[in-house]
Structure 1
Amino acid sequence: MRRSTKIATATLALVGLFALAGCTTDPSVAPPEETGDAAPPASSNEWFDQALFDTQDAQRDVVPEGPEDEPYLQHIDAEMVDTSDYASEGAKKACFANASISNPWRQTGWITMNEQLKALQDEGVISEMETRDAQDSDDTQIADIDYFIAEGACDVFIISPNSTAAMTPAVERACETGKPVIVFDRGVNTDCPVTFIHPIGGFAWGIDTAEFLIENLEEGDKVVGLRILPGVDVLEQRWAAAEKLFEEAGIDAVDYFTGADPAEIKGIISDELATGDVKGIWMDAGDGAVAAIEAFEDAGVDYPVMTGEDEMSFLRKWKETGLTGLAPVYSNFQWRTPLLAAKAIFAGEEIPKEWVLPQSPITAGELDEYLAANDGMPDGHYAKFGGENLPGFPEVWQQRQIP
């Protein structure tokens, strides 16, 4: 068993691409520290966390509570909290401090969120949502949150943090206003928000994908892992889980950082194919999946067993080629949930303190269903966006109408 991590020359210049995966990335989060008294690690990967691995592994099999046809309102293993102190009548102003809309995953979610906003405005729940976009800057988002606090006109704060540690004090200041605070996508190091909304997590992604590849390969087969960037918590957790399972199964796994550059991806796969058979491809994001598949076509060899993502470009290429595939997801429909949580809070209803949303991969048996449901959507669209019952469906997403 060997493992090598090779950072492409262009990667470090592409740090701004960290969110291309449809991921909840936080470069400020350090890997867990080891102590002299700690038990031997279950994996040599410094990002591996056995307790979190076990929690997310178990949550994959939990049947979520909530409406069957509304996954954005479902929750897993929830501790419910009382919000009756916030109950009041009349339309409320929401203030949204957003990390960015700098990649297709966030753009898809932003479109969905705005369509949900329109529906709640029609219901008389939300009067307006003032939004400030931090453009992937901690300093800008801190200033945005402080601006909302100083403005004094927010009935609810919604925050999708750019990073965890840097944003924690600003979130705490928002909590000190006495107005409800909702955090989603990426977390912060405080429990002062009324709720923290997110899918299961990176270890669940890694388990889903590694188990699929192991089930469809044989001991000793080579898998090439294509990764976007180093040092990003959710992405690192995806690989840490997968690497552990590959090692246990005797899969020969080698990984590369690509910056999601299609040319770099093609070059890596071509080089690997020149030295021997590649039986599997593992990705921590679907972006660039088509380039990886094309490298096999260019070499005239059999398609690999492959995991990508629920981005439409991968789903369409998967269908076209007939390869053995799986599309893990980082549930994009979570962008609806914060506004629906605000609605519940002002109605004084109980909601989850940590709102863990379902995160189920798209399997081969579901592929045609999701292709049909998203017919006409652009390649950068995410199949599990959860906006099918909103007013602008499907045109707003087909035309990529980004507010």
Structure 2
Amino acid sequence: MRRSMKIATAGVALFGLIALAGCTTDPSVAPAESENPEETAETTEWFDQELFDKQDEERGVTPQGPEDEPYLQHINAEMVDTAEFASEGAKKACFANASISNPWRQTGWITMNEQLKSLQDAGAISEMETRDAQDSDDTQIADIDYFIAEGECDVFLISPNSTAAMTPAVERACETGKPVVVFDRGVNTDCPVTFIHPIGGFAWGIDTAEFLIDNLEEGDKVVALRILPGVDVLEHRWAAAEKLFDEAGIEAVDHFTGADPAEIKSIISDELAKGDVHGIWMDAGDGAVAAIEAFEDAGADYPVMTGEDEMSFLRKWKDTGLTGLAPVYSNFQWRTPLLAAQMIFAGEEVPKEWVLPQKPITEPELDDYLKANEGMPDGHYAKFGGENLPGYPTVWQQRQIP
């Protein structure tokens, strides 16, 4: 049953972890159905030189905004005037959420609700009514239309389940004259006041491939572990990495895993049986620990490896001493939509496209992030950005999912 909830001043309920289904990070478009999904990925041209160059350039830009508040920083922003929405009093936010079906989204959802409490205390937001689409386009379209028909929303916050399918519903929300804030995944319209997201998939692919290339030799072998085909942000990660591996003379072979630890171990075992594997590249961190354990089971040397900022990988990285990098899909972005709403109702300028920083965790930073996130569960994301919120650290440590 779909969840519909109103969150005001009620306490946060304690729930157990929802079983992981799908990828840890968040795709912009759901994969198309196909009898042969791998064929779909192979026959679609995912590489986009213009977008590759844009995101590569953005990696090197110093973000503007408060140094200690990355969720308010932005890169190469075109600011837009929001004076037409300026008004006093606490506002009701209506949030159409794609899902909380994986640890990345659960971590962000906890953070968003703690941000809500802070803005309620400040008198900026009265409540946030949320409808959870549970990864369904049809459900989320109905959720947005419900909010429109209800007529009680002062601002629409939307994390789209997919891009094309959700575009008409987002446009209908814009037609109400109320501000619309889209984050995480995008839509094919510029009607929202702001679209909030980290740099993107090509940036991830560049960060990770360059790290492996810098730590390997020409001719070395990298096994790329990919969750599933046909999802644009994941395909962009691999398209960027594959390009750079080819140019550097790195032998890279890729496999789809479904984020299944047993499948990951089987793939690594089979590749090790063929010869040395020098590097592991992942398009998301799910199963990173299983990949490392496969090398241990085989008695092989640890690879150079890229995972993600999920705590399970960071801890295994530290325990093994392998040469690693943790790319990120900045989880702290879940704070930004509510803060953007506060700014909009204050009549302050906001970025039209709000590009957030996306900086990997490197080995010299590893101990600091482990210490800062001590006591957090393995499914927690180190760059969650909630350290100055009221429930820190307890609600994240106890995984209190509203």
Q: Same fold (TM over 0.5)?
A: yes
Q: CA RMSD in A?
A: 1.5
1:119 aligns with 2:122: no
**1:22 maps to which of 13, 20, 25:** 25
Q: Is the 8 A contact 1:341 1:351 kept in 2?
A: yes
Q: Tell me the secondary structure at the aligned position of residue 271 of structure 1.
A: helix
Q: Is the 8 A contact 1:60 1:359 kept in 2?
A: yes
Query: How far did residue 301 of structure 1 move?
Result: 1.2
Query: How far did residue 45 of structure 1 move?
Result: 7.3
Letter in 1 for 2:100: I
- The match for 1:88 is 87
Aligned-partner Cα distance in 1 for 2:254–2:20: 18
Q: Following superposition of structure 1 onto structure 2, how do residues 330-349 of structure 1 map, counting pairs within 5 Å?
A: 330-349=329-348
- The match for 1:219 is 218
Aligned-partner Cα distance in 1 for 2:108–2:22: 13
- The match for 1:176 is 175
Q: Is the 8 A contact 1:26 1:233 kept in 2?
A: yes
Q: Following superposition of structure 1 onto structure 2, how do residues 141-180 of structure 1 map, counting pairs within 5 Å?
A: 141-180=140-179
- The match for 2:4 is none
Deviations 1:5-27 (A, max 9, x none): xxxxxxxxxxx977522223312
- The match for 2:360 is 361
Aligned-partner Cα distance in 1 for 2:104–2:31: 21
Aligned-partner Cα distance in 2 for 1:45–1:163: 18
* Alignment length (residue pairs): 376
Deviations 1:344-367 (A, max 9, x none): 000000000000000000000000
Query: How far did residue 287 of structure 1 move?
Result: 1.1
Letter in 1 for 2:332: F
Aligned-partner Cα distance in 2 for 1:55–1:82: 25
Query: How far did residue 286 of structure 1 move?
Result: 0.9
Q: Is the 8 A contact 1:210 1:242 kept in 2?
A: yes
List structure 1 segments (4+ residues) > 4 angstroms apart after TM superposition.
16-19
Aligned-partner Cα distance in 1 for 2:242–2:63: 28
Q: Is the 8 A contact 1:209 1:242 kept in 2?
A: yes
Aligned-partner Cα distance in 2 for 1:388–1:159: 24
Query: How far did residue 237 of structure 1 move?
Result: 0.3
Q: Closer, same or farther in 2 for the Cα pair 1:235/1:45, shift >3 Å? A: same
Q: For structure 2, which runs of at least 5 residues remain unmatched after alignment?
A: 1-18, 34-41
Q: Tell me the secondary structure at the aligned position of residue 21 of structure 1.
A: coil
Query: How far did residue 44 of structure 1 move?
Result: 9.8
Aligned-partner Cα distance in 2 for 1:257–1:21: 15
TM-score relative to the length of structure 1:
0.92
- The match for 2:251 is 252
Query: How far did residue 46 of structure 1 move?
Result: 1.4
Q: Is the 8 A contact 1:20 1:104 kept in 2?
A: no
Aligned-partner Cα distance in 1 for 2:367–2:356: 24
Q: Tell me the secondary structure at the aligned position of residue 164 of structure 1.
A: coil
Q: Following superposition of structure 1 onto structure 2, how do residues 12-161 of structure 1 map, counting pairs within 5 Å?
A: 19-27=22-30, 46-161=45-160
Q: Is the 8 A contact 1:17 1:259 kept in 2?
A: no
Q: Is the 8 A contact 1:376 1:398 kept in 2?
A: yes
- The match for 2:7 is none
Q: Is the 8 A contact 2:28 2:163 kept in 1?
A: no
1:204 aligns with 2:203: yes
Q: Is the 8 A contact 2:87 2:345 kept in 1?
A: yes
Aligned-partner Cα distance in 1 for 2:300–2:338: 48
Q: For structure 1, which runs of at least 5 residues remain unmatched after alignment?
A: 1-15, 31-42
Q: Is the 8 A contact 1:206 1:237 kept in 2?
A: yes
- The match for 1:5 is none
TM-score relative to the length of structure 2:
0.92
Q: Tell me the secondary structure at the aligned position of residue 130 of structure 2.
A: strand
Aligned-partner Cα distance in 2 for 1:304–1:44: 30
Q: Is the 8 A contact 1:18 1:229 kept in 2?
A: no
Q: Closer, same or farther in 2 for the Cα pair 1:269/1:70, shift >3 Å? A: same
Aligned-partner Cα distance in 2 for 1:20–1:119: 30
- The match for 2:320 is 321
Q: Is the 8 A contact 2:210 2:244 kept in 1?
A: yes
Q: Closer, same or farther in 2 for the Cα pair 1:44/1:174, shift >3 Å? A: closer
Q: Closer, same or farther in 2 for the Cα pair 1:160/1:19, shift >3 Å? A: farther
Deviations 1:130-151 (A, max 9, x none): 0000000000000000000000
Aligned-partner Cα distance in 1 for 2:70–2:25: 18
Q: Is the 8 A contact 1:209 1:326 kept in 2?
A: yes
Q: Closer, same or farther in 2 for the Cα pair 1:45/1:246, shift >3 Å? A: farther
Query: How far did residue 28 of structure 1 move?
Result: 5.8
Deviations 1:183-238 (A, max 9, x none): 00000000000000000000000000000000000000000000000000000000
Q: Is the 8 A contact 2:20 2:103 kept in 1?
A: no
Q: Tell me the secondary structure at the aligned position of residue 156 of structure 2.
A: strand
- The match for 2:10 is none
Aligned-partner Cα distance in 2 for 1:19–1:130: 26
